[in-house]
Amino acid sequence: MTTFSTVDFDNHEQVVFCSDAKTGLKAIIAIHNTNLGPALGGCRFWAYNNEEEALKDVLRLSRGMTYKAAMANLKLGGGKGVIIGDARKDKTPEKLIAFGQFIERLNGLYITAEDVGTTTEDMAYIRQSTNHVVGLASATGGSGDPSIFTGYGVYLGIKASLKHKFGLDTVKGLRIAVQGLGHVGMNLIERLIREGAEIIASDINAESVKRATTQHDLKIVPPESILKTECDVLAPCALGGIFYDQTIENLHCKIIAGAANNQLFNPSHGEALRQLGILYAPDYVINAGGLINVTHEGPNYDQNEAIYHVDKIYLTLLEIFHLADQQSLATNIACDRVAKQRFKNKLV
Ligand code: NAD
């Protein structure tokens, strides 16, 4: 495995392999681009099948963060961390503190936060060894769980997609399929149900399914069925790489708008969706709510200001949809072009 020759290497500025024998920490930090500012991106704790998978994930995720920050008009670059292991069994305070020490060595070039498998409590452990961490709990001076803002942004993104495709202003009476009943998925479902949507959902984790069905009136389908479900909107809120030739030909949705990062297996799958008349909300625009919120973190944190900033996701998506239509391009391609234009030069 050589980093520079993997298909997902995209001129990343720095890739750091972190190993701490004492705690058993094995992690990778990837810094994609810092032209607009320090690289901010969450830390994923995941049981990868092998190291290649972990490297692929961190390269793709960190790249996505550069595009996400640019489209949210933030003075930030893109980075990401992955810790290899099962968050339910292998996560220890000592490992997180050791991960913080590696971040500290980067001297502010990389700032971490939550991602799949990590929580605000975990950020408090990382904070013991570095200041370069956001997404801390409100009680400790942070801005709280970012997934609440991501959920809100995804809800707005679904509304923007409905507006563009059908001229609709509400989700009332629509069928929305949600893949993944985690932090973002649950927050999103709550908003959609409150507004009268019908929810079909799935999760690979039995406990998450039980929690969701206890709290909400929704229909559960097996994990292998959720992408094929007949629905108005499909909201992927689990993991990435889910839309490729075989899954796309079995889709029965009109819109794809969800939180998962890197939903398209590769960029050409955006065009495949366009050909089928499925409107795709570019993932790094629709899921930027959490990132936007943590950039407001600090002693003068004002939640209303953060929400006002997250609200802009709605208009940004409408602009991208119009641009893509005008240029007869897939939405992901139109969006990549705008983002690249924004981060191509170093801010002086
Ligand atoms: P989470 O870990 O809380 O939830 C993910 C859920 O997806 C888990 O319950 C898991 O069991 C489930 N899952 C995994 N594979 C599945 C499959 N094949 N089918 C059905 N369910 C499956 O994570 P989260 O914080 O809710 O994030 C969800 C997604 O959104 C991730 O891709 C994440 O990178 C992305 N995202 C999250 C945030 C945030 O603020 N948390 C911000 C931007 C993007």
CATH number at residue 238: 3.40.50.720
Which structure tokens are listed for 231? Answer: 């629905």
In a domain, 215, yes or no: yes
User: Does residue 198 share a domain with residue 124?
Assistant: no
In a domain, 5, yes or no: no
Which pTM does this prediction carry?
A: 0.94
User: Does residue 157 share a domain with residue 131?
Assistant: no
**Which pLDDT does position 348 carry in this prediction?**
66
Pocket test for ligand 1, best of 120, 183, 189, 200 (most atoms within 8 A of CB): 183
pLDDT tens digits in sequence order for the chain, 348 residues long: 678 888 899 999 999 999 999 999 999 999 999 999 999 999 999 999 999 999 999 999 999 999 999 999 999 999 999 999 999 999 999 999 999 999 999 999 999 999 999 999 999 999 999 999 999 998 888 898 889 999 999 999 999 999 999 999 999 999 999 999 999 999 999 999 999 999 999 999 999 999 999 999 999 999 999 999 999 999 999 999 999 999 999 999 999 999 999 999 999 999 999 999 999 999 999 999 999 999 999 888 999 999 999 999 999 999 999 999 999 999 999 999 999 999 998 876
User: Does residue 64 share a domain with residue 32?
Assistant: yes
Catalytic machinery residues: 80
Residues constituting the chain: 348
Compute the distance from residue 346 Cα to the ligand 1 centre, in Å. 32
101, 124, 140: which is the final residue of a domain? 140
- Cα(17)–Cα(107) distance, integer angstroms: 16
Judge contact between 209 and 182, C-beta under 8 A: no
Range of the domain at 115: 14-140
- Cα(224)–Cα(278) distance, integer angstroms: 20
- Taking CA atoms, 68 is separated from 150, 261, 287, 342, in Å, by 12, 10, 8, 11
Output phi, psi for 230, to 5 deg.
-70, 120
In a domain, 312, yes or no: yes
Ligand 1, residue 117: give the atom nearest the CA.
2
In a domain, 4, yes or no: no
Residue 209 Cβ inside 6 Å of ligand 1? The answer reads no
In a domain, 6, yes or no: no
User: Does residue 211 share a domain with residue 125?
Assistant: no
User: Does residue 167 share a domain with residue 110?
Assistant: no
Which structure tokens are listed for 159? Answer: 């509304």
Task: List the residue whose alpha carbon is closest to atom 8 of ligand 1.
Answer: 182
The closest alpha carbon to 202, from 187, 215, 214, 218, belongs to: 218
User: Does residue 187 share a domain with residue 120?
Assistant: no
User: Does residue 121 share a domain with residue 154?
Assistant: no
**Which pLDDT does position 345 carry in this prediction?**
86
**Which pLDDT does position 25 carry in this prediction?**
98
| Number of structural domains the chain divides into | 2
User: Does residue 115 share a domain with residue 161?
Assistant: no
| Strand bridging mode 25-33 / 14-20 | antiparallel
Which structure tokens are listed for 199? Answer: 């929810």
Judge contact between 231 and 253, C-beta under 8 A: yes
User: Does residue 44 share a domain with residue 176?
Assistant: no
User: Does residue 263 share a domain with residue 299?
Assistant: yes
CATH of the domain at 31: 3.40.50.10860
